Amino acid sequence: MKVLVFANQKGGVGKTTSAISIAAALGIKGKKTLVIDFDPQGNASSGLGVRKPQVTSYDIIIGRRTAGDAIVKTKYKNLDVIPANMALAAAEFELADLENRESKLKTALEPIQEKYDYAVIDCPPSLGLLTLNALAAGDGVIIPMQCEYFSLEGLSQIMMTVKQVKKLYNPALTLTGILITMYNGRLNLSVSVLDELKKYYADKLFKTPIQRNVRISEAPSYGMPIQYYDKYSRGSLQYADVAAEIMERI
Ligand code: ADP
Ligand code: MG
């Protein structure tokens, strides 16, 4: 199982949307895929049609239940989820004093290593203990970001965190790619930020930016990934391209 971590300390940049859409695309391409909702807001769970989960990612990181206990099958091809709810918010504090507090998720996932081709972790909008656990369990990091001026500062911050986690806890961790979300090519600012990114991160930028597309924002309220909500929409096709690129990279 290759573990892909969708992380960015900024909220509203498209982490959850990208995690769900790419996981669904991987499933459609025949890869057994597990989404791990690691944000107390539980948006990845509800976006996949899972509401009021019984066993959650909280239970598995505090060691109360096994990962296997928490897996819920979705209606979608090759796609399961370990859901989350508000209980996970307490984990930041409860883990703080424990030994090996950064490796709880990694340990919890060991028994299901062979069950999936990919796990996709949807992180909360912070670089706290939850994101740290996700990075420590990860093989690759995917950073979704918008093409805005302040995004560039945020990017260097998360890159630094990734570097530190790699050094301290997880030498195998690599940056799989930077994914542009909600792109609007008619905005001069977006174009110039993208040019800047290309200058510094040419080999890390995914070739396909995800354009702003209203169908993408409608899909979660139906509990559907975009590929099932509107198969031939631009968003669906662009996320499929990115999933293909990920499969080449990792
Ligand atoms: P995060 O998980 O980083 O907080 P979300 O994935 O929840 O971000 O996205 C934030 C908001 O933007 C959501 O309302 C989502 O539906 C919307 N959104 C994400 N990507 C797109 C897109 N390509 N086009 C239009 N709306 C989008
Ligand atoms: Mg989110």
What does the pLDDT look like over 159-195, one tens digit per residue? 999 999 999 999 999 999 999 999 998 998 899 999 9
Give the tens place of pLDDT for each residue, 21-53.
999 999 999 999 999 999 999 999 999 999 999
Rounded to the nearest angstrom, the distance between the alpha carbon of 123 and the centre of ligand 2 is: 7
Ligand 1 pocket: which of 131, 147, 184, 217 to mutate (most atoms <8 Å of CB)?
217
Q: Is the CB of 181 under 6 A from ligand 1?
A: yes
Mean local confidence (pLDDT), 212-233? 98
- Give me the chain's average pLDDT, please: 96
Query: Of 27, 93, 31, which Cα lies nearest the Cα of 62?
Result: 93
Residue with CA at minimum distance from ligand 1 atom 19: 14
Rounded to the nearest angstrom, the distance between the alpha carbon of 7 and the centre of ligand 2 is: 9
> Nearest 5 degrees, angle CA 45-CA 49-CA 50?
50
Rounded to the nearest angstrom, the distance between the alpha carbon of 167 and the centre of ligand 2 is: 27
14: left (phi over 0), alpha (psi -120 to 50) or beta: left
Higher pLDDT, 153 or 94: 94
Rounded to the nearest angstrom, the distance between the alpha carbon of 54 and the centre of ligand 1 is: 26
Is the pLDDT at 217 greater than 90? The verdict is: yes
Q: What is the pLDDT of residue 248?
A: 97
% of the chain residues with pLDDT over 90: 94
Q: Considering every ligand atom shown, identify the ligand nearest to the alpha carbon of residue 9 and give its number.
A: 1
Q: Is the CB of 165 under 6 A from ligand 1?
A: no
Q: Is the CB of 221 under 6 A from ligand 1?
A: no
Residue with CA at minimum distance from ligand 1 atom 20: 14
Mean local confidence (pLDDT), 203-212? 96
Residue with CA at minimum distance from ligand 1 atom 15: 217
Q: What is the pLDDT of residue 173?
A: 98
Q: What is the pLDDT of residue 147?
A: 93
Give the span between the Cα atoms of 152 and 65, in whole angstroms: 39
Give the tens place of pLDDT for each residue, 112-157.
999 999 999 999 999 999 999 999 999 999 999 999 888 888 899 9
Q: What is the pLDDT of residue 150?
A: 83
HSE (side-chain half, CA atoms, 13 Å) at 137:
34
Q: Is the CB of 13 under 6 A from ligand 1?
A: yes
Q: Is the CB of 42 under 6 A from ligand 1?
A: no
Residue with CA at minimum distance from ligand 1 atom 17: 217
Q: Give burial (CB, 10 Å; 0-12/13-18/19+) of 101.
A: middle
Q: Is the CB of 170 under 6 A from ligand 1?
A: no
Q: Place 247 in a pLDDT band, splitting at 50, 70 and 90.
A: very high
Is the pLDDT at 237 greater than 90? The verdict is: yes
Q: What is the pLDDT of residue 149?
A: 83
Q: What is the pLDDT of residue 175?
A: 97
- Phi/psi of residue 188, each to 5°? -55, -40
Separation in Å, CA 49 to CA 95, 145, 216, 224: 29, 25, 15, 6
